[in-house]
């Protein structure tokens, strides 16, 4: 029988919090409170009733909208994807770039996530700009997304980038394209540039963390880092892939399959190579530690736009669109409408009967 995260937290959080009090911080407690109150009367909601079957009512409680909650984010994910797809340049090849940090750096990411995750996004963007300037001769426009988990919810921080194969020259009047439509840049020099920029940023801005890292992992900046640059066609596949991580948590819906005979949590996973499903068993404490690892610092922005795709560069983005395909404006995105409950007896849309205030009495609608 499927298991919900809020059930696990209600049963096990008090004991877990006592055993791990020294490792927990405020953002962990906020995430737990949000998940446990999600879609419950604590947050309020609405009461719906069928116009034909007056005896049938439906309580729809509000979502917590916390980015670590597996129940939330579906509608926001669709809206984000629609907005980004409207900005795609027709006829231009797109690439998905993935920059991964070595195991030796992950401990520091856990220790100082606000600092290290910000540096990962910032220096990944800087490295990509450097390579595009030197190899393509202009400023690129792209979107970066921080992703912190692997297929088994293990800590695996890396940066995904969606980038079109077009740059704007230094004068801002011409666009340039790679010589081959299915090739952007090599991954090896990009990974090296990312590694060097990250080491310099740590050494300059956070010398104590840099010294601590070198004391524990002296070879972290001496080995080979990995960057994957993959052609994805028109860009929609890459955006839809990333959309799953923008507003969703490390724990997707229906991944918790229940407890095994030993009381361990059964987690549904998929192989990275074959995508075949398999089940792993985790002790409750290990499972909760993995989930909490991916709770981001308060206010941290995991999705960022750069170059002529940045939020402050709308005019430049439209200029690129004009130069590339002759279009003066982007098509308007089509957003999905919030679903209206339907009666299970007749299938008709139900009517809003009352608003349920958080922890308060309902307000009756006329």
Is 292 a domain residue? Answer: no
Residues 87 and 172 in one domain: yes
Write out the residue range of the structural domain in which residue 41 sits: 5-65+339-364
DSSP class of residue 349? Answer: B
Q: Is the pLDDT confidence value at 48 over 70?
A: yes
- Which pLDDT tens digit goes with each residue over 293-330? 999 999 999 999 999 999 899 999 999 999 999 988 99
Residues 61 and 82 in one domain: no
Q: Is the pLDDT confidence value at 1 over 70?
A: no
Q: Where are the beta strands (DSSP E) in 73-154?
A: 94-100, 141-149
Q: Is the pLDDT confidence value at 365 over 50?
A: no
Residues 183 and 307 in one domain: yes
Is 264 a domain residue? Answer: no
Residues 311 and 351 in one domain: no
Q: Is 1 exposed, middle or buried (0-12, 13-18, 19+ CB in 10 A)?
A: exposed
Is 281 a domain residue? Answer: no
Q: Is the pLDDT confidence value at 363 over 60?
A: no
- Which pLDDT tens digit goes with each residue over 113-131? 999 999 999 999 999 999 9
Q: Which residues make beta-bridge pairs with 305?
A: 143
CA dist 164 and 356 (Å) reads 46
* Confidence bin at 253 (pLDDT 50/70/90): confident
Mean pLDDT of the chain: 91
**CB 127, CB 194: distance < 8 Å:** yes
- Which pLDDT tens digit goes with each residue over 50-96? 877 667 888 889 999 999 999 888 888 888 889 999 999 999 999 99
DSSP class of residue 218? Answer: T
- Which pLDDT tens digit goes with each residue over 197-245? 999 999 999 999 999 999 999 999 998 999 999 999 988 888 888 887 7
Q: Give the tokens for residue 250.
A: 């490390």
Q: Which residues make beta-bridge pairs with 329?
A: none
Mean pLDDT lowest among 56-70, 101-115, 135-149, 334-348: 334-348
Is 291 a domain residue? Answer: no
What three-state secondary structure class fits 335?
A: coil
Is 288 a domain residue? Answer: no
What three-state secondary structure class fits 358?
A: coil
For the chain, how many structural domains are there in total?
Answer: 2
Average pLDDT over residues 24-42: 93
Kind and range of the H or E run holding 176 = strand 175-176
CA dist 26 and 97 (Å) reads 33
Q: Give the tokens for residue 266.
A: 């059964």
CA dist 296 and 300 (Å) reads 7
**Within a 10 A sphere around the Cβ of 49, how many other Cβ atoms?**
18
Residues 307 and 358 in one domain: no
Average pLDDT over residues 13-38: 94
CA dist 313 and 304 (Å) reads 13
CA dist 269 and 152 (Å) reads 6
- Which pLDDT tens digit goes with each residue over 4-24? 999 999 999 999 999 999 999
CA dist 44 and 99 (Å) reads 42
Is 267 a domain residue? Answer: no
Percent of the chain with pLDDT over 90: 70
- Which pLDDT tens digit goes with each residue over 175-192? 999 999 999 999 999 999
Residues 193 and 84 in one domain: yes
Residues 243 and 106 in one domain: yes
Q: Is the pLDDT confidence value at 331 over 80?
A: yes
What three-state secondary structure class fits 355?
A: strand
Contacts of 19 (CB under 8 A, 6+ apart): 285
Is 258 a domain residue? Answer: no
Mean pLDDT lowest among 24-28, 31-35, 53-57, 249-253: 53-57
Nearest to 251 by CA among 172, 322, 158, 150: 150
Q: Is the pLDDT confidence value at 28 over 80?
A: yes
* Confidence bin at 366 (pLDDT 50/70/90): very low
Residues 169 and 205 in one domain: yes
Residues 182 and 311 in one domain: yes
Residues 154 and 107 in one domain: yes
For the whole model, what pTM was predicted? 0.91
Is 282 a domain residue? Answer: no
Residues 305 and 199 in one domain: yes
Residues 59 and 112 in one domain: no
Q: Is 261 exposed, middle or buried (0-12, 13-18, 19+ CB in 10 A)?
A: exposed
């Amino acid at each position: 029988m499927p298991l919900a995260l809020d059930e696990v937290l209600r049963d096990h959080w008090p004991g877990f919090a006592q055993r791990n009090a020294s490792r927990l911080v405020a953002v962990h407690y906020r995430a737990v409170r949000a998940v446990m109150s999600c879609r419950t009367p604590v947050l309020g909601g609405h009461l719906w009733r069928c116009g034909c079957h007056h005896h049938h009512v439906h309580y729809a409680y509000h979502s917590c909208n916390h980015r670590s909650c597996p129940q939330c984010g579906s509608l926001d994910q669709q809206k984000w994807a629609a907005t980004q797809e409207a900005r795609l340049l027709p006829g231009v090849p797109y690439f998905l770039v993935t920059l991964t940090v070595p195991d030796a750096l992950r401990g520091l990411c856990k220790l100082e996530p606000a600092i290290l995750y910000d540096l990962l996004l910032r220096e990944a963007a800087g490295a990509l700009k450097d390579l595009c300037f030197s190899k393509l001769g202009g400023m690129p426009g792209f979107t970066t997304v921080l992703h912190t988990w692997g297929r088994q919810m293990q800590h695996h921080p890396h940066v995904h980038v969606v980038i079109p194969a077009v740059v704007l020259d230094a004068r801002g009047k011409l666009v340039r394209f790679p010589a081959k439509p299915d090739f952007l840049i090599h991954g090896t020099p990009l990974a090296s540039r990312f590694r060097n920029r990250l080491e310099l940023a740590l050494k300059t801005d956070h010398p104590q963390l840099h010294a601590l890292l070198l004391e524990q992992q002296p070879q972290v900046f001496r080995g080979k880092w990995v960057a994957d640059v993959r052609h994805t066609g028109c860009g929609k596949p890459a955006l839809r892939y990333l959309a799953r991580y923008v507003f969703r948590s490390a724990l997707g819906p229906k991944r918790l399959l229940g407890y095994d005979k030993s009381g361990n949590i059964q987690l549904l996973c998929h192989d990275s190579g074959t995508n075949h499903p398999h089940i792993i068993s985790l002790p409750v404490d290990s499972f909760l530690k993995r989930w909490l690892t991916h709770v981001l610092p308060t206010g941290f922005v995991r999705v960022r736009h750069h170059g002529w795709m940045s939020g402050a560069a709308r005019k430049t983005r439209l200029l690129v669109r004009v130069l590339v395909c002759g279009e003066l404006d982007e098509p308007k995105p089509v957003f999905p409408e919030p679903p209206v409950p339907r009666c299970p007896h007749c299938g008709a849309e139900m009517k809003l009967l009352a608003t349920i205030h958080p922890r308060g009495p309902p307000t009756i609608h006329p």
